[in-house]
Chains A and B, each alone.
Chain A
């Protein structure tokens, strides 16, 4: 089954304790992205990756890191989490970059990770 998976689904942690949220897709997609969802703000893009070893900042990258060493995985790293990073996080992937109008570039979303930083 084609899907985007995220782990963990729920996480409660404390300020400053490094954590990683994993994201994996089995559709051989080139483009992957991380979003955070906050009430009244919709989804905001944190980082995205056009392909292996190619990453770039989204709109709210502060406090986050990503890596793309393999095509299927795109982990989100919080080196020193703070309470303002408490949010619902979604990973997404698409076949090609979003600006490619010739490709079927619908984004497929993972189930979400609810993170609470105390």
Chain B
């Protein structure tokens, strides 16, 4: 079965530290890739998405992600985190396969940024 793995369940950083959250998926075909963020008590918001083209995708709030097809990975990065980045981050994948319309989420990574 298709799955999405997020390597870290909890990450704790100090402000200004760099962030990289890992995401791998298990599907050999064509995919759309997403990162969503969920701030405490709020609903999911889209950070960035990859459909095709340049594998380095820039999103909102200074986040970026790189799609490496050979590694089935879509890691999220930010050079310098802020306290306001404290949230839970979800990687998600849509499989592009005739009529398949499911969005598969990873288990999430809780990020805590300390001042």
Contact = CB atoms under 8 A, between A and B. Distances in A.
A42 B90 CA distance: 7
Interface of B: 4, 6, 9, 30, 32, 34, 36, 42-46, 49, 51-52, 90, 92, 94-108
B63 to A, nearest CB: 15
B32 A31 contact: no
Interface residues of A, number: 27
Given A101-B96, A109-B45, 8 more contacts: A31-B101, A48-B101, A48-B102, A59-B102, A59-B104, A99-B100, A109-B43, A112-B43
Contact of B43 (A41, A58, A111): A111
Nearest to B4: A42
Contact of B108 (A42, A45, A58, A112): A42
Interface of A: 31, 33, 35, 40-45, 48, 50, 56, 58-59, 90, 92, 97-99, 101, 105-107, 109-112
Given A99-B97, A101-B51, A101-B96, A45 B43 contact: no
Contact of B32 (A40, A43, A101, A111): A101
